[in-house]
Amino acid sequence: MERQAVELLESVAAEHNASGIWALFSGGDDSLATAIITARTSRFRGCLHIDTGIGIPETQQFVRETCARQGWPLKVYAARDCGQDYEALAIERGFPGPAMHFKMYTRLKERPLRAFIRDHKTYRHDRLVFSTGIRQRESQRRMGHARQVLQQGVIVWANPIYTWSKADCLDTIGSIPRNPVVELLHMSGECLCGCFAKPDELKEIALWFPHVGERIRALECRVKEAGHDGVWGVRPVPKRKRQPAVLDSAGRKVGPLCQQCELNF
DSSP, residue by residue, the chain: -HHHHHHHHHHHHHHTT-SEEEEE--SSHHHHHHHHHHTTSTTEEEEEEEE-SSS-HHHHHHHHHHHHHHT--EEEEEGGGGT--HHHHHHHH-S--GGGHHHHHIIIIIHHHHHHHHHH--STT--EEEE----GGG-TTTTTTS-SEEEETTEEEE-TTTT--HHHHHHHHTTSPPPHHHHHHSS--S----TTPPTTHHHHHHHH-HHHHHHHHHHHHHHHHTT----TTSPPPPSSPPPPPP--TTS-SS-GGGGGGGGG-
Average pLDDT for the chain: 90
Name which of 32-41, 150-159, 254-263 the model is least confident about: 254-263
pLDDT for 142 equals 46
CB atoms within 10 A of CB 158: 27
pLDDT for 230 equals 79
pLDDT for 55 equals 97
Its pTM surpasses 0.85: yes
pLDDT for 235 equals 80
CATH architecture for the domain at 2-239:
3-Layer(aba) Sandwich (3.40)
Kindly state the average pLDDT of the residues 24-47.
98
pLDDT band, residue 250 (cuts 50/70/90): very low
pLDDT for 194 equals 95
pLDDT band, residue 249 (cuts 50/70/90): very low
| Strand ranges across the sheet with 20-24 | 74-78, 44-51, 20-24, 128-131, 155-158, 149-152
Kindly state the average pLDDT of the residues 35-44.
98
Kindly state the average pLDDT of the residues 120-133.
94
- Tell me which of 113 and 244 has the higher pLDDT: 113
Taking 70 as the threshold, does the pLDDT of residue 119 lie above it? yes
pLDDT for 265 equals 45
Q: In the chain, what are the domain boundaries?
A: 2-239
Query: Distances in Å between the alpha carbon of 124 and those of 43, 83, 116?
Result: 19, 26, 15
For helices 2-15 and 29-38, the axis angle rounded to 10 degrees is 70
Taking 50 as the threshold, does the pLDDT of residue 144 lie above it? no
